[in-house]
């Protein structure tokens, strides 16, 4: 087929898009302190292989290019520049980590490169005025912390809370959420807080200090490696607080199993996705669809790892966005479509939870449900709770 010079020029004007291909960029911590999340990038690569096997999207195959950033912001900057300036990707998808995405947000927005459905719940990804080319996916960490704090006060108005948090925008969002609810009572109810750096070997000393405060409630805002350490250390200390765990670190495969499943009994978290280990979803059509995908494209994958089902679900939403583009994969149109989502297909979301966006709503998922660890799986309780993603 001969392509006219005019059409060739139009194609050349759109980075990452040819008549037959779309280049999508991604960074993931395949190594480093958050490497438990690396399986997400592998699952996304497998997902786009499946899409290509099925004929691609509007005559285009997906070229998914994913680089290791080690959860190190300087490396993220380096890899994203490589993706945009050398690989000439059309856009970025599901780049993981709050500090990592924070390091690139100014650059990608200046370049007007869409950064879609980032794999972090930092509240600021909803800031459509300041960063119109970056949009989140999962619920806001700040809203999540508000839910835990309201639950705590409802059960114990005299509660004494200790907080362990990662010393970056991810962890600090949880402090903000607690402050939203407690207001001027923050310093009397939060009797101890301790932070850790991702370069730390362990969080053992922080937890020993928090236990010594006499707190009877504990909130841990941590990534999987440190979450698993925290669960084990709290158990080893013989400490029995009401324990809230950030929902990015509740995978049975990558957190609860290495921590010792029996050590975390009673931990409370929030969920917006179906847990692969929940017996209620043993024959769920959406989860069976994911399991069939895993059997064919990632046969060695851990079916207890919620990071893998997350990756499948968010990739399915990305596929819907590409279909909505109707063959126009320009950066402007991709951004237009991702900000006009009305319940796209994500088979791993909990019943009743939907994905909705608009040009003034960059928080696609706003609902969550509380759940408690039984020693074998997460047991959901209560109604869906709607959050607002306060800024």
Q: How many residues are there in the chain?
A: 391
Q: How are strands ordered across the β-sheet holding 115-116? A: 61-68, 21-28, 91-93, 115-116
Domains of the chain: 5-139+283-360 (3.40.50.2300), 141-271+370-386 (3.40.50.2300)
pLDDT, one tens digit for every residue, the chain (391 residues): 444 443 444 444 689 999 999 999 999 999 999 999 999 999 999 999 999 999 999 999 999 999 999 999 999 999 999 999 999 999 999 999 999 999 999 999 999 999 999 999 999 999 999 999 999 999 999 999 999 999 999 999 999 999 999 999 999 999 999 999 999 999 999 999 999 999 999 999 999 999 999 999 999 999 999 999 999 999 999 999 999 999 999 999 999 999 999 999 999 999 999 999 999 999 999 999 999 999 999 999 999 999 999 999 999 999 999 999 999 999 999 999 999 999 999 999 999 999 999 999 999 999 999 999 999 999 999 999 986 544 4
Residues 306 and 294: their CA atoms lie apart, in Å, by 12
Beta pairing, strands 242-245 & 217-221 = parallel
Which residues are bridge partners to 373 per DSSP? 378
Token output for 299: 């046969």
Q: pLDDT tens for residues 171-187?
A: 999 999 999 999 999 99
Tell me the C-alpha to C-alpha distance, in Å, between residue 32 and each of 70, 169, 250, 258, 301.
Answer: 5, 19, 19, 17, 20
Q: pLDDT tens for residues 242-286?
A: 999 999 999 999 999 999 999 999 999 999 999 999 999 999 999
pLDDT the model gives residue 386: 84
Among 157, 374, 360, CA closest to 266: 374
Which residues are bridge partners to 243 per DSSP? 218
CB 281 within 8 A of CB 274: yes
pLDDT the model gives residue 13: 65
Residues 103 and 125: their CA atoms lie apart, in Å, by 13
Token output for 147: 């839910």
Radius of gyration of the chain (CA): 21
* H and E: helices and strands count for the chain: 13, 12
């Amino acid at each position: 087929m001969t392509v006219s010079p005019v059409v060739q020029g139009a194609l050349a004007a759109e980075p990452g898009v040819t008549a037959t291909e779309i280049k999508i960029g991604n960074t993931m911590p395949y190594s480093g302190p958050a490497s438990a999340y690396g399986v997400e990038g592998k699952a996304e690569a497998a997902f786009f292989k499946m899409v290509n096997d099925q004929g691609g999207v509007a005559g285009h195959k997906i070229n998914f290019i994913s680089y290791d950033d080690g959860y190190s912001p300087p490396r993220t900057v380096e890899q994203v520049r490589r993706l945009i300036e050398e690989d000439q990707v059309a856009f970025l998808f599901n780049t993981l980590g709050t500090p990592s995405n924070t390091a690139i947000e100014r650059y990608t927005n200046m370049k007007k490169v869409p950064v879609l459905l980032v794999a972090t719940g930092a509240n600021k990804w909803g800031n459509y005025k300041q960063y119109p080319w970056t949009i989140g996916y999962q619920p806001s960490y700040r809203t999540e912390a508000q839910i835990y704090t309201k639950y705590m006060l409802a059960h114990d108005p005299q509660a004494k809370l200790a907080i362990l948090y990662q010393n970056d925008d991810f962890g600090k969002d949880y402090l903000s959420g607690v402050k939203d609810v407690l207001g001027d009572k923050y310093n009397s109810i939060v009797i101890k807080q301790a932070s850790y750096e991702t370069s730390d070997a362990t969080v053992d000393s922080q937890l020993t200090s928090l236990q010594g405060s006499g707190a009877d409630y504990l909130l841990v805002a941590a990534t999987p490696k440190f979450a698993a350490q925290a669960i084990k250390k709290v158990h080893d200390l013989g400490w029995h607080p009401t324990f809230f765990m950030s929902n990015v670190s509740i995978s049975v495969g990558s957190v609860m199993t290495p921590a010792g499943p029996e050590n975390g009994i009673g931990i409370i978290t929030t969920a917006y996705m179906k847990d692969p280990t929940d017996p209620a979803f043993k024959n769920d059509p959406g989860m069976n669809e994911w399991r069939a995908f895993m059997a064919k494209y990632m046969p060695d994958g851990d079916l207890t790892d919620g990071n893998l089902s997350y990756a499948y679900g968010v990739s399915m939403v990305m596929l819907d966005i590409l279909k909505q583009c109707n063959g126009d994969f320009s950066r402007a149109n991709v951004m237009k479509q991702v900000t006009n989502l009305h319940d796209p297909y994500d088979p791993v979301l909990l019943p009743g939870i939907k994905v909705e966006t608009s040009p003034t709503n960059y928080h696609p998922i706003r609902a969550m449900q509380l759940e408690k660890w039984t020693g074998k799986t997460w047991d959901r309780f209560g109604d869906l709770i709607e959050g607002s993603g306060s800024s």
